[in-house]
Amino acid sequence: MIKTSLFIGTPDMPDVAYVHLFRDEIQENVRKAARLGFDGVELLIGDPSFFDCDRLEKALAASGIDLACLNTGRMVSQFGLTLIHRDQNMRQKAFEKLQELVRICGRFGCALNIGLFRGGALEGKPIAYTKDLFVQIMKDACDYALPFGVTLNFEPTNRFEINFIHTTDEGLEVVSRVDRPNLGLLLDLYHMYIEDASIEESISKAMDYVKHFHFSDSDRWPAGVSHGVIDFRAIMALLKKIGYSGYLSEGLVPTEDVEECARRTAAYLKELIASI
């Protein structure tokens, strides 16, 4: 069964002008997501060393929804950590944070999403060098995560945000080379719109590996409030055809009226899932 998920942050998350989402205390964020009709939350977590897992566990139980996944974006934007880095010490620090995040995911039975946290291609080195480095890092990460029952979802990201691994085909190459059962793909429709010749063809290619979706339009607004060109009904029909049963997740929006945006998104996604 396809489920819906809302991005949430924590009060210590820095404000970014083009990103608005719930940044209240975790109990309030989870309560709002449940009240608005979402099945789960995608948490942009801060420093995992200081995260209160007990509080999140109680909030989820009280609201009857799940933790869909942890999002690692703040490791980059707030802490400046990336798995790929010229400095070996920085790579080690990033990997240690990844291990902490994996342990949290293991507790909640959720996935860990890795997008920009991978880091960019190293200056002065061939792209192949950085790809080889990243493949080895992901092998090590998957091997660490496997005993915890945790899947890592890797997200190809458009060329305007990072300098390598942009397309779904490139993401599939990474998954193939890493060759671990607990590595999947996170596909973001916005990134796919920019980088892939056909969103539908890319989804079909990735059908055996895609575990999570960011369901935003070509204008980066969430489905249900957007004004872009992506045919969400065609995408939903395809997802049902290939037997997708993960989350459709969104919530990073360029508007301060976050609650109204989330309400409309939840209603639209529920209707869309039921109608196909």
Q: Give the three-class secondary structure for 98.
A: helix
Q: How many CB atoms lie within 10 A of CB 66?
A: 18
Instruction: Provide the residue type at 108 as one letter.
Output: F
Find the mean pLDDT for residues 213-230: 94
| pLDDT over 90 percentage in the chain | 89
Amino acid in the structure at residue 226: S
What pLDDT is attached to residue 276? 84
Band the pLDDT of 105: cuts 50, 70, 90. Answer: very high
pLDDT at residue 200 tops 60: yes
d(CA 167, CA 147): 30
Number of structural domains, the chain? 1
Q: Do the beta carbons of residue 253 and residue 21 sit within 8 Å?
A: yes
Return the minimum-mean-pLDDT range out of 17-26, 67-76, 172-181, 237-246. 17-26
Range of the domain at 209: 3-275
Q: Is the dihedral of CA 213, 218, 222, 223 positive or negative?
A: negative
pLDDT at 153 over 90: yes
Quote the CA–CA distance of 70 and 76 in Å, as a whole number. 14
Give the distance, in angstroms, between the CA of residue 48 and the centroid of all CA atoms in the same chain: 17
Whole-number pLDDT of residue 156: 98
Give the CA angle between residues 206, 237, 40 to the nearest 5°: 75
242-252 tens-digit pLDDT: 999 999 998 77
Q: Quick one: angle between helices 168-178 and 127-145, nearest 10? A: 60
- Report which DSSP code applies to 147: G
Which pLDDT score, from 0 to 100, does residue 41 have?
A: 97
Length of the chain: 276
Q: Global pTM?
A: 0.96
- pLDDT of 18 reads 59
CATH number of the domain enclosing 9: 3.20.20.150
- At 256, is the pLDDT very low, low, confident or very high (cuts 50, 70, 90)? confident
